Structure 1
Amino acid sequence: MQGIQKHTLFSIVLSSLLVLTSCDSLFRKKVEKEPLARVGEEFLYREDVAPLIREDMSPQDSALFVTNYINTWASKQLLLSKSKINLPEEKLAEFDRLVYDYRSDLYTRAYVEALVFKEQDTAVSTSQLRQYYEREKENFKLGEKLVQLRFVGLPAQFLDKDDVVSRMKSWSEEDRIYLDSIAVQFKKIHFNDSIWVRTSRVMEEIPPLTPLNEEDYLKKSQFFELQDSLEVYLGQVTDVLEINDIAPFEYILPDIRQLILNRRRMQYVRKLETEIIDEAIKKNEFEVYEKDE
């Protein structure tokens, strides 16, 4: 009987050792992170830095990058540790709240934006755009002068300048076709005089035009000829809108479309927030406790 008990006890101990040995072997097979540096109880691991190393880096550049990264990380950890020791408790609590709020905002904003992107209708008809414009046009006053014009930039030694001047002024269909056919000889060209252009943009293209002289040249029905050391600029202004005039529909069109989409987005987000709260209340996932008077 005692022999049997001893044998049984021996078997249990042996089994236990085998289990422990197997567990130890199993644990050893687990891949451990390879630390690069430590500050107190915080570790920086190789896998944290590896994604930051670009493929085009040489071994020397990689080594330098890792060294600099470790030093920067260590400085931040040490300063963080010091700050937690030396800053007042109320300041630390305030920072913790800010970090929590910022983290929550990042998650919720990304989630909401994904839902909006998936669900929001981005189609806006011309009639919707026009209705919005007519309703809100008093809010679309210009902050900068606009002009409609056509102009060309000619080489300083261009031989047939007078012919170009004549055709720019008369601007028949024949004139336009002819000037298009010789446009390769021009340094600059803008013949679409039906679109509105900011005067600052015109000055970028025609350097002799400046804020000091643009009133003399950028007038309705005005033809102008200006020259610098490189080019001769010929322009015909067809229309002008001054600061505080109502912006034309075509000019403000992209802004109106974005305003409509932004309004739709806000409406969708408000609807989403309401639906989420209603659903949570129905599922008993959200409740507000009344305060005792």
Structure 2
Amino acid sequence: MISSCDFFKVKSTQNEEEDRILATVANNNLLLSDIQFLLNAQLSDEDSAATVSRFVQSWVRQQLMIAEASKAINFNTPEFNQRIKEYRESLMIHEFEKNYINSQIDEAIKDQEILEYYKSHKENFTLKETIVRGNFIKLEKSSPQKNAFERAIRQKEQERLAELSLKFASNYYLEADNWIRLSELTANTPLRNEANTTQLLRSGAFIKVDGENYSYYFDILEYKLQNQVPPLEFVREEITKILLNKRVNMLREQLHKDIFTRALENKEFSIYE
């Protein structure tokens, strides 16, 4: 619709008398000045032209839909105009609240706050599936390093295990300090369809299973079963979001209260019975 050459043969200043029309639908024109926000000095002429072209096509499609909707439905009614008014006012309030909250909120959540919330709401964090801390290694069955891997796992030599995994493992997970869902750890392994994972975990920390071409090693350091309370670290991020959301709601409520109180003191409104 707009070639890179033609597109940039347009006004370079806002002092020119005429604004270029890029597209027309019915009586509505899309002007070059309407899409100035799309132009980025870091984009090449070709990329800018492509960006504008996509926007113009989208604008045309939208205007065509609006035209068809106007033919089919009468939107010039008190009810529809009221809905538009309510939406506009709601959007204004939302933007005002957002700007105020962004300027006032402290997003730093202290560890003590997180701990206190965790202790008070443990029942809300019941696990829906088993989680574990541990290591996982996928190794070719023919690998001559199998004994070295097993020895490092059984003797809890984390650095040695990391060194071996980096060099010889086909896949591995060695974030032993982090909790992870057991289903994520066993995905794409022979244990993915294991029905009795509880019994499997209770049978011992070291688990080895063989597939057709690979051996899979699981070093389970700790686990929490479904319906148990997870450790704090597993739900820390969730609690942080909850506490932050509480702060947002408190700021919003306080903003409404302050505005009403000030208006009441200054007699800025009247209520008639």
Determine what percentage of the aligned residue pairs are the same residue: 19
Instruction: Note closer, same or farther for the CA distance 1:68–1:128 as it changes in structure 2 (3 Å cut).
Output: closer
Check conservation: 2:25, 2:64, Cα contact below 8 A.
no
Aligned to 1:234: 217
Check conservation: 2:138, 2:215, Cα contact below 8 A.
yes
Which ranges of structure 2 fall in alignment gaps of 5 or more residues?
1-14
Instruction: Note closer, same or farther for the CA distance 1:220–1:128 as it changes in structure 2 (3 Å cut).
Output: farther
Is 2:69 the counterpart of 1:87?
no
Instruction: Note closer, same or farther for the CA distance 1:38–1:32 as it changes in structure 2 (3 Å cut).
Output: farther
2:244 is matched with which residue: 261, 268, 280? Answer: 261
Distance 2:51 2:150 in 1: 63
TM-score normalized with structure 2 length? 0.77
Other structure's SS at 2:244 match? helix
Other structure's SS at 2:161 match? helix
Other structure's SS at 2:204 match? coil
Is 2:14 the counterpart of 1:56?
no
Count, aligned residues: 252
2:24 aligned partner, one-letter code: A
TM-score normalized with structure 1 length? 0.72
**Larger Rg computed on CA atoms:** 1
* Alpha-carbon shift at residue 132 of structure 1 (Å): 0.9
Other structure's SS at 2:172 match? strand
Which ranges of structure 1 fall in alignment gaps of 5 or more residues?
1-28
Aligned to 2:6: none
C-alpha deviations, 1:2-25, integer Å up to 9, x for none? xxxxxxxxxxxxxxxxxxxxxxxx
Listed as ranges, the matches of 1:166-177 within 5 Å are 166-171=151-156, 175-177=157-159
Aligned to 1:39: 26
Is 2:228 the counterpart of 1:209?
no
Check conservation: 1:221, 1:238, Cα contact below 8 A.
no
Instruction: Note closer, same or farther for the CA distance 1:162–1:202 as it changes in structure 2 (3 Å cut).
Output: same
Distance 2:52 2:229 in 1: 61
Bigger proportion of residues as helix: 1
Distance 1:236 1:218 in 2: 10
Distance 1:208 1:245 in 2: 26
Aligned to 2:67: 78
Instruction: Note closer, same or farther for the CA distance 1:93–1:118 as it changes in structure 2 (3 Å cut).
Output: same
Distance 1:113 1:66 in 2: 28
